[in-house]
């Protein structure tokens, strides 16, 4: 590893640590959300010492566009006409094994 790649290597390691911490925090948040969502239907607000959580119960309608498309059987040309391409950049972060380090 040379002086040019060292900052990138440190950034990769920091990103990996942050993603792991975020995963842990999201897991804890999901558990707390499940607990709060499970309260009696008459409860609409949960008051903490620092935060207030409003529980909003509603019906949400979602259109099954895949089902609509299967029913209508559009041509490939029609699908392509309404398909937009865009450039995306993504990162895949994985922990290295001891042997690879």
The pLDDT score that the predictor gives to residue 99 is 64
In angstroms, the CA 33 to CA 43 distance is 14
Of 56 and 5, the one with more pLDDT: 56
In angstroms, the CA 60 to CA 2 distance is 54
Confidence of residue 3 (pLDDT cuts 50, 70, 90): low
**pLDDT tens digits for 77-100?**
999 999 999 998 988 888 888 765
In angstroms, the CA 92 to CA 8 distance is 15
The pLDDT score that the predictor gives to residue 45 is 94
For the whole prediction, is pTM greater than 0.75?
Answer: no
């Amino acid at each position: 590893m040379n002086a040019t790649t060292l900052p990138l290597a440190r950034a990769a390691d920091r990103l990996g640590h942050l993603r792991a911490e975020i995963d842990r925090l999201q897991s804890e948040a999901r558990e707390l959300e499940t607990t709060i969502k499970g309260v009696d239907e008459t409860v609409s607000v949960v008051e903490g010492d620092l935060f207030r959580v409003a529980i909003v119960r509603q019906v949400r309608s979602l259109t099954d566009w895949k089902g609509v498309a299967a029913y209508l059987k559009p041509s490939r040309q029609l699908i392509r006409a309404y398909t937009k391409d865009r450039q995306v950049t993504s990162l895949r972060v994985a922990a290295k094994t001891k042997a690879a380090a």
